[in-house]
Chain A
Amino acid sequence: MKKLFLGLFAALAALTLVGCRKTPAKSDSKVFHIMAWNEEFKGFFEKYVCDERAKFVEAAEKKDDSLKPKEYHYDGKLVKWTIVPSEGGQYQKSLDQHLKANETASDDEKVDMFLAEADYILKYSNSKYTTPIKDLGVYNLSNTYEYTSQVASDSKGVVKGVSFQCCPAGVIYRRSIAKAVFGTDDPAKVQEKISNWDKFNAVAADMKAKGYYMTSSFAETYRAFSNNVTQPWVNDDLKLQFDPQIEAWMAQAENFIKNEYTLTAGIWEDGCTNEMFATGKTFCWFGPAWYYNFCMGNAQDETKGCFGDWAVCEGPAYYYWGGTWLMGAAGGNDDYLVGKCMNSFINDKDVCKALVKNEGQFSNNQKANKEVAAEYEKEGTGNAFLGGQNDTKFYLDLAKRIQIKGMTIYDQYCNEGLQKAFGEFLKGAVATKADAIANFKTQLHIDCPEIVFE
């Protein structure tokens, strides 16, 4: 069997060689080592691509954990996970240690593949510790969405990572409140009302007049602004700069708080999510498809929630939120397996369709998404949480329009730092906007001493 495999592989390698492509060689290491900060991807990996996937699915179907494989293999190699939580920067710290030691580490310890988020992916794609995906055997990106490659490209435009999800995001709103205020809850008509920021801000005033909040966190709209910046946070001279989009967000947040269009809670705080109960007075949240299950537990609560009273529309700006990129670690043993895994999650239509259908994901394969959307359309099944709206179809177009510019390795510090410091101003913990920005710079200077200010 093994010989047959090797033979097949040789033939395959020969074939690709004819195509003048550099295919990574198979190694004799025994372990395929993946690093991640949580278990989301691990679940998908075990269910859809690893050698034991059939067994895994069987165990899940029979709801019998004892049937679950004890170990998982990928192309015959034992899959090993190192999971470190991202809280407090632990994941990156641990990952950095591993990557720097990767060349000299023992076979078992070498990291082959790791996961990264958009906020800090540039740190890795711009380094020598990641392998260009074409050297891993990933050549076909035609099915993917463009922004997912933009995010994972280094400064020279070489793509270093592949996202297994696509996360176009929109405005998720309460149908009942839309009806009460606009007289309609139809996504197309609601979109009309909030299609740009001026309209959005005007609607906020209407909401307030009727006793509602527009949003329930001052930072709710942040990503819709920050995704559309035209200049990076830090320029080539390492100077910090505020993009007009960021300025616009600050102005909006200040205005919203002053007029009580929103609350001072952070987007992850209970003060914000408690508004999702049926008793909540908040019109909308900003989020992608994963937001429903990940953050809207209160809305889905059986007794206190308001399942089905929701819908999604584009909102005032195109943006995305989240996504997890797979990257190949330089010095790893199993580049060919990294490539194989990446290909499965972007080019294997069955896997991608399963992600959409079973996992509530929006995949990074346009064809798969389209087919599922069409199936839903044909069956007339939509998303019950969204009152039957076919959101898969809705996200199809949105995803193609997202463009990303001006990313830097400092984005995570800047985005999180500004939200936190500015939030203190809005809460009244800091007297003026200037003080808040000064605090933001102070913290940034501790985190990244090389950045200079005016």
Chain B
Amino acid sequence: MESNNYQLIDRKADQAAKVKLTIERTLVYIFLVFLTIICLFFFYLLFVNATRSHAEIQSGFTLIPSKHFFENFQKMWNLSGMAPVRKGLRNSFIIASISSVLTTYFSALTAYGVYAYNFKGKKFVETFILLIMMIPSQVSSVGFLEMCNEMHWTNQYWVLIVPGIAAPATFFYMIQHLRATLPLDLVEASRMDGSSEFMTFNRIVLPIMKPALAVQLIFSFVASWNNLYLPTLLITKTELKTLPTMLALLRSADFANMDNGLIYMVIFISIFPVMLVYLFLSRAIIKGVTSGSVKG
């Protein structure tokens, strides 16, 4: 359409520009495909190794899947003893889902509290939360572990779950989202209808925040699902251990009992649920990565 502006003589130049664009596009695609291969390679490698037996893995490297997938899966599924993976899946799921729900809900609630109400110290509260967001989590981990040891808070899930209620980064995301999407007139209107403040939040505000909630739910779920550090130190009972802890256990198994096929299968199975969710929600997630963190 732009070519309408050109005179006939410029057609050649136009043609040249088109060729140039095609070449550029091709190069860009090649670059993108290259990066895609890098990113997918690791997942593929993981899958291939999950289909191979320990002996096959030890004997060398290949990109061709073998036929031990179901064997490895069965082994994984029937694991008992010090790493009952099935229980680990359940435990991880319980911890990750409860803590992600709590993190998301209370971050939204706090953000709403700061956003929608005028109270003394409101500005201070927001600045304060932003400030503590900057403090590396390791700073508190020293004291936290000492505290848990002192109070014998071991083998208790709540120690892994409850601290998530105070998640400064999630709060920050939520308040940004609220600013962009929630007109306070709506709150006012709901108030006129006689709705209590708490009801307003649950019935009116939360539904509006759905996209933000979904994204943070997934992020905090993944963070908790992958968490190795605290669960390793705080959970010692076999039947209460989480999946990443069990994976570490299997990897530290003695040489005689080491089964790399099994280990890859456990990695595969621990990534699988996350990937599945991601497949369906990738669009929302990618949107979410940006909407909360940067509002220009």
Contact = CB atoms under 8 A, between A and B. Distances in A.
A184 interface: no
A262 to B, nearest CB: 20
Interface centre among A84, A94, A301 (most CB of B within 10 A): A84
Classify chain B: how many residues form its interface, as a range: 20 to 34
Nearest to B237: A82
B236 interface: yes
B81 interface: yes
A81 B237 CA distance: 9
A90 B232 contact: yes
Candidate in A90, A268, A301, A304 with the most chain B CB atoms within 10 angstroms: A90
A86 interface: yes
Contact of B256 (A97, A273, A293): A293
B236 A295 contact: no
Contacts of B255: 268, 273, 294-295, 297
B55 A301 contact: yes
B254 A294 contact: yes
B238 A82 contact: yes
B236 A94 contact: yes
A230 B147 CA distance: 42
Contact of A294 (B81, B232, B251, B256): B256
A83 B152 contact: no
A83 B254 contact: no
B236 A85 contact: no
A97 B154 contact: yes
A406 B54 CA distance: 41
Contacts of B59: 304
B19 interface: no
A179 to B, nearest CB: 27
B253 interface: yes
Contacts of B274: none
Nearest to A38: B254
A94 B237 CA distance: 10
A293 B256 CA distance: 6
Interface string B109-124: 0000000000000000
Interface string B48-62: 000000010011000
Interface string A70-81: 000000000001
A429 interface: no
A81 B238 contact: yes
Interface in A264-295: 268, 273, 293-295
A38 B55 CA distance: 22
Given A301-B55, A304-B59, A86 B252 contact: yes
A39 interface: yes
Contacts of B253: 38
B156 to A, nearest CB: 13
A38 B232 CA distance: 16
A108 to B, nearest CB: 11
A273 B248 CA distance: 22
A304 B60 CA distance: 12
Nearest to A268: B255
A412 to B, nearest CB: 16
A25 interface: no
Interface in B248-296: 248-249, 251-256
Nearest to A81: B238
Contacts of B233: 90, 93
A268 B249 CA distance: 17
A81 B239 CA distance: 11
B149 interface: yes
Interface in A85-118: 85-87, 90, 93-94, 97-98, 101
B55 A84 contact: no
22 contacts: A38-B82, A38-B253, A39-B81, A40-B254, A81-B238, A82-B236, A82-B238, A83-B81, A83-B82, A84-B236, A85-B82, A85-B252, A86-B252, A94-B236, A97-B154, A98-B236, A101-B152, A294-B255, A295-B256, A297-B255, A298-B58, A301-B55
Given A39-B81, A86-B252, 14 more contacts: A38-B82, A40-B254, A81-B238, A83-B81, A83-B238, A84-B236, A85-B249, A87-B248, A93-B233, A98-B236, A268-B255, A294-B256, A297-B256, A304-B59
User: Which 4 residue pairs spanning A and B have beta carbons closest together?
Assistant: A87-B252, A83-B82, A85-B252, A94-B236
Interface of B: 55, 58-59, 81-82, 149, 152, 154, 232-233, 236-238, 248-249, 251-256
